[in-house]
Structure 1
Amino acid sequence: MPVCFITQPIHPKAVAFLKEKGVQIRFASAPTMEATIAEVGNAEAVITRDLGFSGAALDAAPKLRIIACHGSGTNRIAVNEAAQRGILVTRAINANSRSVAEMTIALMLAGARKICAADTAVRAGNWDFRYENPGMEVHGKTLGLVGFGAIARHVAQIAREGLGMKVMAWSPSVPHDVFVEHQVKNVSDLPDLLHAADVVSLHRPADASGKPTLTREMLDMLKDGSVVVNTSRGSAIDTRALQDSLRRGRLGAALLDVLPQEPPESDDPLLKDRNVVLTPHIGATTEEALTRMAMTCAHQVMACLTGQSPQYVVQPSIPIKS
């Protein structure tokens, strides 16, 4: 009976599906790489969420054939090392796109209308908050999307059709006709987008170099009072530079569902910044998305274990020597 090791909880429907197919399920005792390395053992398949799967974990899993990522981002998985060993890495592409897009819109509106600060004020008995802290109406404002993949396209549709926003996007790898199809302005240079946008939302994968997309220089290009939303990768923004911009009053708010370190240290300055709204990486945490992602992983595991080709195999970033 093949063993599938699962590093973090996934939807019960996927677990039941794998068991029905004759796969033995073993969960990590804790959602840590240390526990994974100690316990992966003889597993032929692994399903991992944002924990990823390190090179040391590969060393501890001599029978491993597939690592199925419960999401689209594989930056925490040792993809190249896995490929060198003939281990497939797959991802649950587009399974969570709509949920993350709706989370993006929710955060944008929370920042524009200062929802979290208003809630805190009411609970503290400060009803005068409504006189002292006017929000921003997003209708007619410009939304700048940094990246234009599946999530950003959903965001564009909701913002344009539902909220009456002007939408532009920067994504050098996306063909121009895709922008035309979605009625979104194609901006060729990121600085042009940053100068024009009232709200900037990040939707690009992590840079392999670790360099943030929104560096201090880029943040300084933003409009006074603009709003920044990040539901992509914590490394996409220079968070210290972001804090400086907020402290100087250059930016109106930052809404972050992802951070460079998750969870953050208890003394992280972001936790004390009232102009920052933080959520614990829940963009894809809806019943619908969790079901789709888990079932996608389960089907790809079964494809591999039965000698078929999984649908969404991740290609290594460096050539693999034969």
Structure 2
Amino acid sequence: MPHIHISSPIHPAVVEAARARAEVSLAYGPGAVPLDAVAGRVDAVLLRSGAFTDEMMAGCPRLRIIARHGVGTDTVDSPAAARRGIWVTNTPGGNSRAVAEHVFALTLALGRRLTIASDETRRGRWAEDRAALNGIELEGRTLGLLGMGNIGAIVADIGRALGMTVIVADPALDQALPHVVPLDELLARADVLSLHVPLLPATHHIIDAAALVRMKPGAILINTGRGGLVDETALAAALRAGHLGGAGLDVLEAEIADMVAPMPHNRLPIAELPNLIVTPHVAGQTDEALMKVGMTALAEIAAVLAGGRPTHPVNAPATPFQP
């Protein structure tokens, strides 16, 4: 019977489905089993978080597939896996709806000043200054999308349903389309700017101090993509100065292997910024999304262990491992 190692907590139903077809070890919970304890007999790894290096692969002589529970594979040495005949896969689109809805959870919370209102009410000051809690309506506002992949397309649909005008900056799209605009125009026109591009050298700090200055006064910035897209020091300054209406971040630059590291207060003084909402990279974490993503990753494992090809490969092993 093949052996599947699961790195981090996933939907319990996916674990049970895996146990129906393979021996399963969990690197979490009671009786957690670290990878090195089973490395000699692991055929597949279902990787939700953490890195997977060439050295780790070398210690797993039977390994045939590393199936990412999610889209990003930057923590996996995919070229090394290809050289070793190991497939690396991901699960595109599995949590797109969840992330898109989180974009609007953050947007609405900021636009209606919900966290401030809640804090004031909890302190017993709910009737003292209602005017300070005046919010905005999204109908008639402009939604700007930096990038238009699976998630961005759903965000656009939701925005239009709310009566928003949608504009997009994305070099991969036909620049002649009426809703596609240059980045400078996107920054200047968007009442809500949502980021949906991968983190690459070209996109690192794409929203920097200069970009923030070009943004429309009072605009809301939402980042559910990657933390490195935003210069957080510059963002904190723009929020303190009142240039932006607010910012919602589900990702931070200090994240390491999908876990949020302690944030030095001089980099992003969260406690001092009432117009900032930060969530711990949970935009894609709904019951429905966890089930969908987990089952997709498990299907990739099943295909490879049966001698077939995965549906969503990230690399291309020249000679896939044969047991």
The question of a shared fold, defined as TM-score above 0.5 by the shorter chain, is answered with yes
**One-letter code aligned to 1:202:** L
Q: Secondary structure at the match of 1:220?
A: helix
Confirm or deny: 8 A CA contact 1:254 1:275 kept in the other structure: yes
Cα shift at 1:50 = 3.3
2-structure distance, mates of 1:225, 1:41: 57
Give the corresponding residue for 1:214. Answer: 207
Moved more, 92-101 or 273-282: 273-282
Offset, 1:280: 1.4
Does the 8 A contact of 1:44 with 1:64 survive in 2? yes
Superposed CA offset, 1:282-302 (max 9, x none): 111111111000000100001
SS across alignment from 2:57: helix
Q: CA separation in 1, counterparts of 2:156 and 2:139?
A: 13
Letter in 1 for 2:191: D
Query: Which residue matches 2:123?
Result: 124
Q: 1:244 Cα deviation (Å)?
A: 1.2
Pair 1:54–1:221, CA change in 2 (3 A): farther
SS at match of 2:248: strand
Partner-residue secondary structure (3-state), 2:220: strand
| Per-residue deviation, 1:96 | 0.8
Residue-pair matches, total: 308
Please state how far the C-alpha of 1:165 moved relative to its aligned partner.
Answer: 0.5
Structure 2 residue 189 is the aligned partner of structure 1 residue 192: no
| Unmatched segments (≥5 aa) in structure 2 | none
Q: Measure, in 1, the Cα distance between the counterparts of 2:263 and 2:38.
A: 29
Q: Which runs of 5+ in 1 are unaligned?
A: none
- The CA distance in 2 between the partners of 1:264 and 1:140, in whole Å, is 38
* Distance change in 2, residues 1:73/1:140 (3 Å): same
Amino acid at match of 1:279: T
**What is the one-letter code of the residue matched to 1:199?**
V
Letter in 1 for 2:78: V
What's the counterpart of residue 301 of structure 1?
Answer: 301
Deviation track 1:143-173 (CA, whole Å, cap 9, x = no partner) reads 1001101111111111111x10111111112
Q: 1:137/1:211 Cα in 2 relative to 1: closer, same or farther (>3 Å)? A: same
1:12 aligns with 2:9: no
Report what 1:205 is aligned to. 198
Q: Is the 8 A contact 2:85 2:318 kept in 1?
A: no
- 1:115 CA drift (Å): 0.9
In percent, how many aligned pairs have the same letter? 37
Structure 1 pair 266/39, CA: closer, same or farther in 2 (3 Å)?
farther
Listed as ranges, the matches of 1:158-307 within 5 Å are 158-161=158-161, 163-175=162-174, 185-187=179-181, 189-208=182-201, 211-260=204-253, 261=255, 262-265=259-262, 267-268=264-265, 269-272=268-271, 273-307=273-307
**Contact 2:174 / 2:180 at 8 angstroms: preserved in 1?**
no
Structure-1 residue corresponding to 2:73: 74
Q: Give the secondary-structure state (helix, strand or coil) at the position aligned to 1:185.
A: coil
Cα distance per residue 1:184-216 (max 9 Å; x no partner)? 7111x2111011101100111121567222122
- Shift of residue 122, structure 1, vs aligned partner: 0.6
Counterpart in 2 of 1:98? 97
Hey, what does 2:58 align to over in structure 1? 59
Give the TM-score normalised by the residue count of structure 1.
0.88
1:186 aligns to what SS in structure 2? coil
Aligned to 1:113: 112
Q: CA RMSD in A?
A: 2.4
Equivalent-residue separation in structure 1 for 2:129 and 2:89 (angstroms): 49
Q: Given the superposition, is the C-alpha separation of residues 172 and 89 from structure 1 closer, same or farther in structure 2, using an over 3 Å criterion?
A: same
8 Å CA contact 1:112, 1:137 repeated in 2: yes
Per-residue CA deviation, residues 37-82 of structure 1 (Å, 9 max, x unaligned), is 6664431111111324233432332321111111111122222222
Distance 2:278 2:15 in 1: 31
